[in-house]
Structure 1
């Protein structure tokens, strides 16, 4: 840890986090949520907000999305 008590503030740590598969999955999931927010907002004719989009996406789409991304990753690695 450094002076701030944050072990992720060093350049090497930050680079590791950015390259990690967990962080990449987080970014991809966030993009899907934002896409869902846009689509639902357009459909309803008003901005539904990030929190509503997040909850709706998790309840209705996350499981299938994860299955799809994991199978795509497995195929890419073989």
Structure 2
């Protein structure tokens, strides 16, 4: 992920607390990736063939992402 353009990052909680998950929309095909506090690399959701995510939020313990087709995924 180090060479990808990151479009958006959403945190599960404040990074200053030290225990969080960060989710990002990144790269040419707007893939989803995540990392936990202390991880050295992003983990890309490779099993998900649908890319081109437009937006995401974290709400009540879950990440929600909407793709360009208008589908919301949890």
Name the one with the larger strand percent.
2
Please say whether Structure 1 and Structure 2 have the same fold, judged by a TM-score greater than 0.5: no
Query: What range is the shorter-chain TM-score in?
Result: under 0.3
Higher RCO structure (Cα 8 Å, ≥6 apart): 2
TM-score, structure 1 normalization: 0.22
TM-score, structure 2 normalization: 0.23
Name the one with the larger helix percent.
1
